[in-house]
């Protein structure tokens, strides 16, 4: 092969190698998405007196939103929802770190505030190194007493849907700094009694910030109206109604942020956990 032929061969070889790299990268991204979806879509807790549901729609193939359920030794159900700063693969990696920290903390803490404190201690140095942070909202649901105890690390306050009064409002407010913001943080706790047909709606800000073709955001008021119109439906129907409302508002405009929601709905006053296993 002549020198000229060698030169013409080089671009062709480089193009082939690039194609192979692109295919490998695409395959690995899809594998990462499958792993993330399996972690997010684990076994849904089953218990007498109520039910929970989680849904997540990443803006890209993989995202940084997170939700989880965990059974505690005292019979309570721990719920967490969060949002990692950023999108795509970097956010997804931090989401996996957050999940591990939550699972570990839940083994050794007896309240949402202590759980957030332990997660912050575990992740603070890594998050500061990466110049990132995570917002989290953690709650313990006691099926025996009907009490929901919760703590907040810079996240949206969930909405409380009163099944008797037919109203939607925020849970009594508690505040706390985001995970990775400052070390040695203590997270204050709030609590509320949930009665028959009450629902708590946890969510990430991808819902409120979804935009239509004119660039207008979905906003909290539209979310509240959607919940009011669908509050008497089953938990799956309520969750889907929110997704449908957001999709109808955006009219096909691509998501700019991950969308995640968790619902906890009480169905009677006799509540006892019957089947909940950590993944």
Residue 62 shares a structural domain with residue 96: yes
The mean of the pLDDT values for the chain is: 85
**Percent above pLDDT 70 for the chain:** 80
pLDDT top residue among 48 and 39: 48
Name the pLDDT band for 6 (thresholds 50, 70, 90).
low
Q: What is the pLDDT of residues 178-236, one digit of tens each?
A: 999 999 999 999 999 999 999 999 999 999 999 999 999 999 999 999 999 999 999 99
pLDDT top residue among 59 and 137: 137
pLDDT top residue among 22 and 128: 128
Instruction: Annotate the chain with three-state secondary structure.
Output: CCHHHHHHHHHHHHHHHHHHHHHHHHHHHHHHHHHHHHHHCCCCCEEECEEEEEEEECCCCCCCEEEEEEECCCCCEEEEEEEECCCHHHHHHHHHHHHHHHHHHHHHCCCHHHHHHHHHHHHHHHHHHCCCCEEEEEEEEECCCCEEEEEEEECCCCEEEECCCCEEEECCCCCCCCECCCCCCCCCEEEEECCCCCEEEEECCCCCCCECCCCCECCHHHHHHHHHHHCCCCHHHHHHHHHHHHHHHHCCCCCCCCEEEEEEEECCCCCEEEECCCC
Residue 18 shares a structural domain with residue 96: no
- Mean pLDDT computed over 149-173: 96
Residue 36 shares a structural domain with residue 163: no
pLDDT top residue among 182 and 12: 182
Residue 95 shares a structural domain with residue 30: no
Name the pLDDT band for 31 (thresholds 50, 70, 90).
low
Residue 23 shares a structural domain with residue 136: no
Residue 54 shares a structural domain with residue 129: yes
Residue 140 shares a structural domain with residue 9: no
Name the pLDDT band for 5 (thresholds 50, 70, 90).
low
Reply yes or no on whether the pLDDT at 38 is more than 80: no
Residue 192 shares a structural domain with residue 55: yes
Lowest mean pLDDT among 28-32, 106-110, 216-220, 251-255: 28-32
**Percent above pLDDT 90 for the chain:** 62
Number of folded domains that form the chain: 2
The model's pTM: 0.84
Residue 102 shares a structural domain with residue 219: yes
- Mean pLDDT computed over 98-107: 93
Domain containing 98: what range?
43-275
């Amino acid at each position: 092969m002549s020198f000229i032929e060698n030169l013409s061969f080089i671009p062709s070889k480089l193009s082939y190698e690039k194609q192979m790299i692109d295919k490998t990268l695409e395959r690995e991204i899809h594998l990462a998405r499958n792993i993330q979806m399996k972690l997010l879509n684990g076994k849904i807790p089953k218990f007498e007196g109520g039910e929970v549901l989680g849904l997540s729609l990443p803006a890209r193939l993989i995202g940084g939103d997170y939700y989880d359920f965990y059974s505690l030794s005292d019979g309570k159900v721990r719920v967490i929802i969060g949002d990692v700063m950023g999108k795509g693969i970097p956010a997804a990696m931090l989401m996996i770190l957050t999940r591990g920290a939550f699972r570990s903390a839940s083994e050794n803490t007896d309240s949402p505030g202590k759980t957030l404190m332990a997660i912050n201690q575990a992740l603070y140095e890594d998050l500061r190194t990466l110049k990132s942070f995570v917002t989290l909202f953690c709650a313990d649901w006691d099926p025996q007493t009907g009490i929901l105890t919760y703590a907040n690390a810079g996240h949206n306050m969930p909405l409380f849907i009163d099944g008797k009064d037919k109203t939607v409002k925020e849970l009594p407010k508690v505040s706390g700094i985001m995970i990775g913001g400052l070390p040695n943080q203590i997270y204050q706790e709030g609590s509320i009694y949930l009665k028959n047909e009450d629902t708590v709606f946890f969510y990430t800000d991808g819902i409120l910030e979804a935009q239509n073709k004119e660039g207008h955001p979905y906003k909290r008021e539209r979310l509240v109206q959607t919940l009011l119109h669908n509050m008497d439906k089953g938990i799956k129907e309520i969750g889907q109604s929110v997704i449908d409302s957001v999709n109808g508002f955006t009219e096909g405009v691509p998501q700019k942020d991950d969308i995640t929601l968790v619902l906890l709905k009480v169905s009677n006053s006799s509540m006892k956990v019957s089947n909940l296993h950590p993944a």
